[in-house]
Chain A
Amino acid sequence: MLEKDKLRKADVFSGAAVFLFGLWVLSQALRMPMKDSWGGVMNVWYVSPALMPLFIGAVIMLLGVLLCRMGLKTVGLDAFKETLGFLVSADMRRILKSDTCVRFYAIAALFLTLVYINLPRIDFFLCAVLFLMVFITMFYFLDDCLLRRFLIFYLAGEAVLLVVFALGFHRSSGEAPSPIPDLLALAFIAAYAFYVRVQLRARPELKRKFRIGLVVSLATPFVIGTVFKYFLMVPLPREGLVAWVLDYLWYLEFL
């Protein structure tokens, strides 16, 4: 959590955002049937689906105004103007580029790319290996310089995947899903591992950590995936190359 004085300044902005959100909720609620006919039933105000959203929107708006007012009252108008100036200053840009912020961007980017780009199109096991390998190598070495390099490499790889998916190369022509996304993911994993290895050439003290990270990121998806797929009978988000191999081995053994 932020410090108290920073919190009060932030309250002015978050209060304003909350007020605008409440206003939006209210505007959406006003479009809902109040006294009109819906599904053949004539509405009265107290059964209207808009009743609760109207109440919520109004209260959120009111609380937003109160929070904004409290923030302004505490920090004063001059300090608020200073804060506005700070937001567009070079200091703010420096903060946004700070190590702590980059760590946040890295975590957010990892989750967003996993959920919105990889999981719907790439085999779960490969997605998970890539996610864990990048995540662990970024944070386990406790080196922000390396983290930045790994993040750029990872984002570049994801950009390539995004282009491939946008051009539709991952779509299958027949019944079986196309193996192209999985092969690309495999290549990406190998390239990333190679890149990390190259980066660690001058850092022998981190090589052991890399090996541990590699083992964890390769073993964990197989444990988790196998438990969910074969013991809990949960179909994985996308089953591709690795899932087919595992299926083959599993049913070869148990049939």
Chain B
Amino acid sequence: MIETFDIYLHSLAHFAGSPLHLAILFGSVLLGIIFGALPGLTSTLGVALLTSVTYGMDAATAMVCLLSIYVGGTYGGCYSSILINIPGTAASAATALDGYPLALKGQAGRTIGLSTTASAIGTIISMLFLVTVSPIILHFALQFTSFEFFLLAFFGILISGTLTTPDLVIKGWISGFLGLFLAMVGRDRLQFYPRFTFGIPELDSGIEVVPVLIGAFGIPQIIQVLKDRVEVGEMQKLQRIVPEFGTIVRNIPKIIRSALIGVGVGVVPGIGEDIAAWVSYGAAKNTSKNPENFGKGEPTAVLSTEVANNACVGGAIIPLLNLGIPGSPPAAMLLGALMLHGVTPGPMITFEHPTFIIECAAILLLASMAMWIVGMTLARQVVKVLRIPAPLFMPIVGLLCIIGSYALGLDLTNLYLMIPVGIICYFLTEMGYPIAPLVIGVILGPMADENLRRALMVSQGSFWPVFTRPMALGLLLIIVWLVLVQFPAVKAFKDRMVERVSRKLKRHRPGGPPLGEPRGSGPTPKDHRLP
């Protein structure tokens, strides 16, 4: 423990003491805030584009760059949410509900100050979880066999498909399996048999993950923004930014609850910061003494969403580093970047790179501090980027997507794949298919394939070990439940059981609210999805 703390302090001193690292840290945070603030650009795209820039850096420096833009991007979305009522990123959509009414009341500076402090606190709490939870997860993960890894990958794809879909769950699963298919392209790693390569030698090594991700997230975004001509409303006046420590101190329990929600949602594979913010908003509203104030300019609502979406950053990194399973779309990009830098996330990370997780935690702390400083001092300058019209910056983003994808492998084949993937992803988005499960499928596909076959090789084709290993059995049961619960008959049965249990609980709790009358009805993520 002391040794870990020592490494942590050493990493902090190393990064904070190096002018180059500090310049990269502040530059990336600022870039992230700009990416987050501009409607149409996301932190995922920011991480994707910056990945190509980090190609020549060592892994730790690259992480300074990428984690900083991730943290900055997640926070930056609140600027446009509060000032123009258009969420800069999906993660800040919940913030707009109360942030904009507060700005209309002439409290834009105060609200941005509150968001900045809350985001920094959320990131710091999630960093604490990263440090403390990682050894526990690694302890269990080291006992995993191939069956567990296969089931974990499969669970990641299914849960991501279930929770991120804006329409039918089945579409989320289709998206995940399409991603799995893309991961099958190329020579398989056990027997080197060419699968779905059509005799094209460039496809033998498989599809490069990062260009596919850039295409999947970047191209649909560009098409959507320019095709639909999103009009930006009048920007509210921004007064002096106040850190709002008083509000923070008065709401410590709410901050802790929101941070726990953020970390919890972040840990679930493929679920992004947007879900964390909505869940936290709902929880804050349901437990508030004045739920009727929500939506009319309630500072605690802004606090809860901003703490949660930034806490999700650290949460998403926990499964990424310990299991090799990204917790959110930007974390999926980070996984691609780590692989480019020769770091393979997973249970072996502490053996191959013993200090890496601690270094990431130190970077998260520094990034949150840099974000707070930049937010407090440069917010008034940064919001000026909101005046840049989308038709001017979107083509530049398109060009960056192209050169970024090419630079990662110096191969035009990456571009030949990126464009069709981008256009197909645009159509999928239009038809209500989520993109995150597709991305998770592309990333976890090789893991699922190799581990299934390896596990069956060891067991000589028998699935029996799944039922004899508690972890594997647990994962299998969760997967089966996840699938079954989508069938109306099973869903109705589950609802009946929940109702029966809550009725029994009510009988044991005199004075509790009558059934069907919650203290406040919070919105669900699907009620408030971005158009």
Contacts and interface: CB of A to CB of B under 8 A. Distances in A.
- Interface size class of chain B, counting residues whose CB lies under 8 Å from the partner chain: 35 or more
A30 interface: no
A213 B429 CA distance: 30
A104 interface: yes
A230 to B, nearest CB: 12
Interface stretch (A48-56, A166-174, A179-187): A48-56
A124 B412 CA distance: 12
Contacts of B406: 119, 237
B190 A49 contact: yes
A228 B192 CA distance: 34
Interface residues of A, number: 70
A233 B398 contact: no
A47 B402 contact: no
Interface stretch (A59-67, A76-84, A155-163, A190-198): A59-67
Interface string B48-62: 000011011000000
A52 B396 contact: no
- B interface majority secondary structure: helix
Contacts, number: 177
A132 interface: yes
A60 to B, nearest CB: 5
A164 interface: no
B181 A49 contact: no
Interface string A14-33: 10001000000100100011
A30 to B, nearest CB: 12
A220 interface: yes
Interface stretch (B1-9, B169-177, B242-250, B472-480): B169-177
Interface string B185-206: 0001011110110000000000
A218 interface: no
Interface of A: 1-2, 7, 10-11, 14, 18, 25, 28, 32-33, 38-39, 41, 43-49, 51-53, 56, 59-60, 63-64, 66-67, 70, 100, 103-104, 107-108, 110-112, 114-116, 119-120, 124, 128, 131-132, 135-136, 139-140, 142, 212-213, 216-217, 220-221, 224-225, 227-228, 232-237
Interface of B: 52-53, 55-56, 166-168, 170-171, 173-174, 177-178, 180-181, 184, 188, 190-193, 195-196, 219, 222-223, 226-229, 389, 391-392, 394-396, 398-400, 402-403, 406-407, 410, 412, 415-416, 418-419, 422-423, 429-433, 445, 448-449, 452-453, 456-457, 460-461, 531
